[in-house]
Chains A and B, each alone.
Chain A
Amino acid sequence: MRRFSLLTLLKEATNAHQGWGRQWRAPEPKVGYDAVIVGGGGHGLATAYYLAKEHGMRNIAVLEKGWIGGGNTGRNTTIIRSNYLYDESAAIYEHALKLWEGLSQELNYNVMYSARGVMMLAHNVHDVQSFKRHVYANRLNGVDNEWLTPEEAKEFCPPLNISKRLRYPVMGAALQRRGGTARHDAVAWGYARGADAMGVDIIQNCEVTGIRRGLSGAVEGVETTRGFIRTPRIGVVAAGHTSVIMEKAGVRMPLESFPLQALVSEPVKPVFPCVVMSNAVHAYISQSDKGELVIGAGTDQYVSYSQQGGIHIATHTLDAICELFPQFTRMRMLRNWGGIVDVTPDRSPIIGKTPVQGLFVNCGWGTGGFKATPGSGHVFAHTIAKGEPHPIAAPFTMDRFRTGRLIDEAAAAAVAH
């Protein structure tokens, strides 16, 4: 792997950048691999990277039906935070956040993790109570999160409207200063480049059409649009399409896939310093390095794989944005798009083994998977390599739906991820 640095960049500048090679190869699939990751998004590529790096599994492949990072990795609003309520959630998201903090250096790829602070607004007494519960729980879990008065919130985010005359006035905010954003595409590319350098085959335009199981029931390999690939271990990391893939192995999932929309404005000079989330009025906003206001909207109400939702979802979000930031009504929407998010009954992910020998799954990240990418890949790699869940992943089994040990962040806090 050609190292990236200012020095190599300058050196290449003298050579019209002719010396840069491929950031990852485009290999033909081999006959078989020690493990196959289905899904070349951030989570899948991170899984492959850590399998190779920490578990020495290098004869592995990532299969992507389109182009890597083309699903939710490249479609989300890139919010990163770890101030979750429950111990289990705080542990996995904090694990991820710690990895985010050194990820550019780890991958030698600038993923632009920007700790500009994530502020969640409280609009009613219930929000205040709930956010304080978060702040205290986070404090005892070693996760930074602090309570701000409306005036302090305004100071941290000057465009914020804290007028008492709002339909839902801001009553305070919870701020995680280490929270922030990152450059989503770079995460996929950085992991791909890192994994590829260790020998992982990243195979694009390769759709899994079947999962072959032997007489014992264990997996034997995957059927793909580029032929059969033998493997004893399959890690399915297919986000919105998880149900579709798992069904090929005969496993039915507690998942529903919904369209989730996001949008950006035209680029403008810096005007918005942090990330603001308001679940009560459905507003998620930050400003990208390019200058676009990046705005997350909600999910549509029906199962869909179409990556397109209704206009009422976007208008609802913009209503809220312009109520909180009235100076933005003259800004213009540049792009609006949709992804497909896979949602579990308790809005927490499923990471672990399945009833099928050799088949592992990492899914159900719902509307908030991007922030978990490094942590998710890290613990899932452990799970696949050892055949047993990583301790941080252990609570996120599918079995919790049988026993009732749900990790219901949404119900607990009415906060989207």
Chain B
Amino acid sequence: MLLVTCPYCGPRPEIEFRCGGEAHIARPAEPSKLSDKEWAEFLFVRTNAKGVFAERWNHAHGCQRWFNALRDTASDRFIQTYKVGEKRPDRTPGQERL
């Protein structure tokens, strides 16, 4: 079970959280202007990266806040968590603390 650091509450066990999938996929401002293909990409296409991956988490059984995390999907180690609206940190794996 992961240990997830909520930027508002601190480290908590994963069962308090819900993972919301890939982060930084902004909803298009005017969806009607998108082609079917572009809309399908927004809806369904995901990076699914092996390695550093930005993803969304919700502290569902805690403060209920959404936040983002950088995690290495090959090792499951978190590199950093950060608040919604903040820029994706420029980090690579190996920088996390053991």
Contact = CB atoms under 8 A, between A and B. Distances in A.
A115 B36 CA distance: 44
B21 A345 contact: no
Contacts of A255: 46, 48
A255 B41 CA distance: 11
Contacts of A403: 36
Nearest to A402: B40
Contacts of B80: none
B29 interface: no
B41 A303 contact: no
Nearest to B36: A402
A306 interface: yes
Contact of A303 (B1, B21, B43): B21
A257 B15 CA distance: 19
Nearest to B69: A302
Given A303-B53, A305-B73, A402-B37, A252 B47 contact: yes
A141 to B, nearest CB: 28
B71 interface: yes
Interface string A218-255: 00000000000000000000000101100000001111
B76 A312 contact: no
A401 B50 contact: no
Interface string B17-43: 011011000000000000011011101
A304 interface: yes
The B interface is mostly helix, strand or loop, or mixed, namely: mixed
A6 interface: no
Contacts, number: 72
Given A243-B47, A255-B46, A403-B36, A304 B1 contact: no
- Residue in B14, B44, B53 whose Cβ sees the most chain A Cβ within 10 Å: B44
Q: Give the bracket for the number of chain B residues in contact with chain A.
A: 20 to 34
A311 B15 CA distance: 11
A308 interface: yes
Contacts of A257: 48, 50, 73
B55 A306 contact: no
Contact of A243 (B14, B19, B48): B48
B19 A305 contact: no
A416 to B, nearest CB: 18
A302 B36 contact: no
Interface of A: 241, 243-244, 252-257, 301-306, 308, 310-312, 344-345, 401-403
25 contacts: A241-B50, A252-B45, A253-B45, A254-B40, A255-B46, A255-B48, A256-B21, A256-B46, A301-B18, A302-B2, A302-B76, A303-B21, A303-B22, A303-B55, A303-B73, A305-B74, A310-B1, A310-B2, A312-B1, A312-B15, A344-B44, A345-B44, A401-B43, A402-B36, A403-B36
Given A302-B2, A302-B19, A303-B22, 17 more contacts: A241-B50, A243-B50, A253-B48, A254-B45, A254-B46, A256-B21, A256-B46, A257-B50, A301-B19, A302-B76, A303-B48, A303-B73, A305-B73, A306-B73, A308-B76, A312-B15, A401-B40
Interface of B: 1-2, 14-15, 18-19, 21-22, 36-37, 39-41, 43-50, 53, 55, 71, 73-76
Listed from nearest, the 9 A-B pairs whose CB atoms lie closest are A310-B1, A243-B48, A254-B44, A402-B40, A302-B19, A301-B19, A305-B50, A345-B44, A401-B40
